Amino acid sequence: MIDEASSRADVRTYEVRTYGCQMNVHDSERLSGLLEDAGFTRAAPGDSPDLVVFNTCAVRENADNKLYGNLSHLRPVKDEHPDMQIAVGGCLAQKDRDTVVKKAPWVDVVFGTHNIGNLPALLERARHNRRAEVEILESLDAFPSTLPARRESAYAGWVSISVGCNNTCTFCIVPALRGKEVDRRPGDILSEVQALVDEGVLEVTLLGQNVNSYGRSFADPDQPRDRGAFASLLRACGDIDGLERVRFTSPHPAEFTDDVIEAMAQTPNVCPQLHMPLQSGSDRVLRAMRRSYRKDRFLGIIERVRAAMPHAAITTDIIVGFPGETEEDFQQTLDVVEKARFTSAFTFQYSKRPGTPAAEMDGQLPKAVVQERYERLIALQERITLEENRKLVGSEVELLVAAGEGRKNSATARMSGRARDGRLVHFRPEGNIDTAVRPGDVITIVVSEAAPHHLVADTPILTHRRTGAGDRFEQGRLPRTPPIGVGLGLPKIGAPEPLPTQMGCNA
Ligand code: SF4
């Protein structure tokens, strides 16, 4: 008989370190699910794990230096514990391939963006053969959603609707590393949403590099593209009982159509929030970026969204200092920012991303010029954000209470939540409530103060709804979703597939 101590000793622990975008964060949930199915357990904070997986990002100029620095730190640990394994996956692994083991020969496994499902087998093979295993595929062999997932949140979940991208923005490495767009079957997506709701999740975010081209590539070649597929998907999510909030990221201005605006406005659980990446307000720079919309189209979308949803919060991404950007081009960006009145903006100083066409372009700007423009943009956006946030003082908001979103909460005795439009609101968990407020619960409260990056509601809580997500959070139970989907065969388009469970329904 195996006693408890020896069986504990057999359990191997893991840690996944994630860098980069939401796509990677979600892939890491899949990696965790896979590893737990393979018998690993998550290492407790502060413990030294038996397996460290790096899920890497390649978009920053110094991403590789950071990775190899982190790997060097692990070398002495591995020398002391030869059974420890190290795996490197994600975009940088897809790009660097066997260079990873040449530079860091103590790494056991290198895997790419197309084969995360093979990680347990590669680890086993590396252990058995006592040598590094490098496996990079050129295209997706199975949708990541066909793998189990260990979710990170009791109340909100990511659901991939597509992977890859068919655009060729000159600053972006995604098409080279994630491949062509492949869309997931609507029925599989809705099954996964339902599975999350069955586990108590209240909010889902549909995830794709370019959600508006959804419907492009699951049709068989003889069938026309289903241009209404994304709007249909949003409406189908509206039929899922218990699903309170639907968000999506990222849309693309070139392909964003009015039927999506209508679906957003007419589907009550779709949140009044839109993240619409501008990148530049200059048509000349947009052309150089190979972004196929122009400033006027972008502003037209904003106008139509506001007409249909006057209270929608619209956020954006902007790159400052793209090669060849003149002061006049930059003024165009400031002009669009002034007119669009974004709720907030993710602003980036352009930096060369190895492997992208823009990295080779003439007209790379001196750092001081980029920095000075960046500071002007930030000042403008912060003024607009504060002005827009001030309009909400005195209004009632519904918050899905969040865990870990307020850095100063322990000092200020506040908790935090997200309003339906995505704004972050800090509040004091006291007032008209009978039992403690927990992450995952839903409250309503009146906003009392505005700041550039958040709102404050130091007012009594008006209503407090205890939810199944809150119960699960309290019990420390996180959702697990099973493998969903049947690989990449030709699916049907149009109406969602029947569901196996009860039916509801840095682009
Ligand atoms: S920026 Fe977005 S749309 Fe452009 S290539 Fe990259 S992923 Fe595709």
Contacts 24+ apart (CB under 8 A), 288-292: 288/170, 288/322, 288/323, 288/324, 288/358, 288/361, 289/169, 289/170, 289/171, 289/319, 289/322, 289/358, 290/167, 290/168, 290/169, 290/170, 290/357, 291/169, 291/253, 291/254, 292/167, 292/254
| Arithmetic mean of pLDDT, 96-106 | 91
* Ligand 1 center from residue 172 Cα (angstroms): 6
Q: Which residue from 22, 24, 161, 169 has its CB within 8 A of the most atoms of ligand 1, so it is best to mutate?
A: 169
Q: Is the pLDDT of residue 488 over 70?
A: no
Longest dimension (CA), the chain: 77
Domain 144-390 has CATH 3.80.30.20: yes
Q: Report residue 370 as tokens.
A: 């980029």
Tell me the pLDDT tens digit for each residue of 102-154: 999 999 999 998 888 999 999 999 999 999 999 988 777 677 777 788 898 99
Say yes or no to pLDDT of 27 above 50: yes
Report pLDDT digits (tens) over 217-242: 764 455 567 889 999 999 999 999 99
Name the pTM for this structure: 0.85
What ranges do the domains of the chain cover?
4-135, 144-390, 396-481
Distance of CA 29 to the CA centre of its chain: 12
Question: What's 4-135's CATH class?
Answer: alpha beta
Q: Write out pLDDT tens, residues 419-433.
A: 999 999 999 987 555
**CATH top class, domain 396-481:** mainly beta
pLDDT for residue 456 is more than 70:
yes
Is residue 340 within 8 Å of 302, Cβ to Cβ? yes
pLDDT at residue 406 is higher than 90? no
Is the fold of 144-390 the same as that of 396-481? no
Q: Tell how far the Cα of 20 is from the centroid of ligand 1, in angstroms.
A: 15
**Does residue 96 register a pLDDT over 70?**
yes
> Three-state secondary structure along 12-49?
CEEEEEECCCHHHHHHHHHHHHHHHHCCCEECCCCCCC
Residue 445 has pLDDT above 80, yes or no: yes
User: Which residues form ligand 1's pocket by a CB distance below 6 Å?
Assistant: 165, 167, 169, 172, 174-175, 209-210, 252, 507
Per-residue pLDDT at 314 exceeds 80: yes
From atom 2 of ligand 1, which residue's Cα is the shortest distance away? 507
Mean pLDDT is lowest, of 242-246, 311-315, 320-324, 484-488, for: 484-488
CA gyration radius for the chain?
Answer: 23
Average pLDDT, the chain: 88
Give the pLDDT mean for 453-467: 95
What does the pLDDT look like over 342-362, one tens digit per residue?
999 999 999 888 789 999 999
* pLDDT tier for residue 5 given thresholds of 50, 70 and 90: very low
The distance from CA 50 to its chain's CA centroid, rounded to whole angstroms, is 28
Contact 119, 34 (CB under 8 A): yes
pLDDT of residue 95: 87
Nearest-angstrom CA–CA distance, 12 and 480:
20
Q: Is 165 annotated as a binding residue?
A: yes
- Which of the four pLDDT bands, split at 50, 70 and 90, describes residue 8? very low
CA pair distance 185, 172, nearest whole angstrom: 26
Give the whole-number percent of the chain exceeding pLDDT 90: 68
57 annotated ligand binder? yes
**pLDDT digits 0-9 by tens, 249-305:** 989 999 999 999 999 999 999 999 999 999 999 999 999 999 999 999 999 999 999
CA distance 108 to 134: 8
* Residue % of the chain over a pLDDT of 70: 91
- 131/433 Cα distance (integer angstroms): 59
pLDDT band at 9 (very low <50, low <70, confident <90, very high): low
pLDDT value for 101: 92
Mutate to test the pocket of ligand 1, among 113, 171, 172, 216 (most ligand atoms within 8 A of CB): 172
Lookup: tokens for 8: 């504990």
